[in-house]
Structure formats: C-alpha cells, structure tokens
Amino acid sequence: MAEDKHPGGRPLKFESAEELQAKIDSYFESCYEEVWTREINEEGKETWTPSLDRHGNVEKHLVKPFTISGLAVHLETDRKTLLNYEDREEFFLTVKRAKARIENFTEETLLTTKNPAGVIFNLKNNYGWQDKQDVGLSGGLNNTNQDLSSLTAEERRARIDELNRRRGNGASTTA
C-alpha cells in the first residue's frame, strides 16, 4: 500500500496554535535576561542573588530587540514561512498578536532612538506604514484631468492666461 501523502504539500511545522504560541512566548522570554547582584559575604565569599522588582519577581532587562526575523529564527523557520502562517485561519490570531507586540516595540523604539531610519524602514516594510502627503489644489481649477496635448500653442497660452487671471496673477504669456 502506498504511503499517504500530505494533501496540501509540505506538512505544517506547528500542529496547533497552542504549540506555536508556546514557542512564540519562548522567543519573547529569550529576549530578556535576569538581573543578578554580586555580593560578598562575611567570609569574603562571592554570592549572586537575583534582583527583585517591586512585586518581588526576578527583575529582567531586555537584551535583544523583538523582530520578525528574530522570531522566525527562534522558531527554526524563515520570515516568509512565519508570515504565511498568518494566512491560515487556525494560526491567524497567534501570529497577528506576535506581530502586534513586535510592531509596538518597534514603534516605541522609533520614539526613543537618535537615528530612526532603520526603524522607519522596518515599520514600512513589515507593518504597512507609509509616508503620506496630502496635496490640495486651490484656485478653482476645473477639468484638471483633461488631456491638453491636443491643444495648439496659442490655445495653451490662452488657458494659462485665464488661470493666471483667476489666481489674481496678472502675468501673461503674450508680450
């Protein structure tokens, strides 16, 4: 009997959203390092004790930034494959939440860094951010989408003169 093949190509790396979420959580945790304090006791022996935050938890400091590619490497896959999981209904929210956390970290970095060019590049390419300029025209121009290439030079000059008159600019194309 022939071996059953996976109907949709290569089998999934993660069998469930829960498995993927556990590995995503592991990635975020790996970006932190516990803070320990060195102490010398009465006998001169060195000891290390964890520093505690105000809630009594071991204090942790971020030692590497959250990134999509960093998450992909931690998951032993590549960025494109990870992002493709977002297209699958069962993994959509899991990947979306991880991306939102990374985007939030990246946006906060944008506000605190001295050279934001790389952060801006990341936000544009990974999160759909874009530079937006609103350009408005004034002066009552009508038919701005009209093709003027078929007009004669004299007709073009007449149009320019009319537009200048409307704008209150007395300049004329005729001498």
Specify burial of residue 68 (Cβ count, 10 A radius: 0-12, 13-18, 19+): buried
Tell whether pTM > 0.85. Answer: no
Two structure tokens written together for 52: 């505690």
Location of each CATH 1.10.132.80 domain in the chain: 17-127
pLDDT in tens, the chain (175 residues): 455 555 667 788 898 999 999 999 999 999 999 888 888 888 888 888 888 888 988 888 899 999 999 999 999 999 999 989 999 999 999 999 999 999 999 999 988 888 888 888 888 888 888 888 777 666 555 555 566 677 888 888 888 888 888 877 666 665 5
Residue with tokens 């060019």: 117
* The CATH number of domain 17-127, selected from 1.10.132.80, 1.20.1630.10, 3.40.630.10, 1.20.200.10: 1.10.132.80
Nearest of 97, 34, 22 to residue 66 by alpha carbon: 97
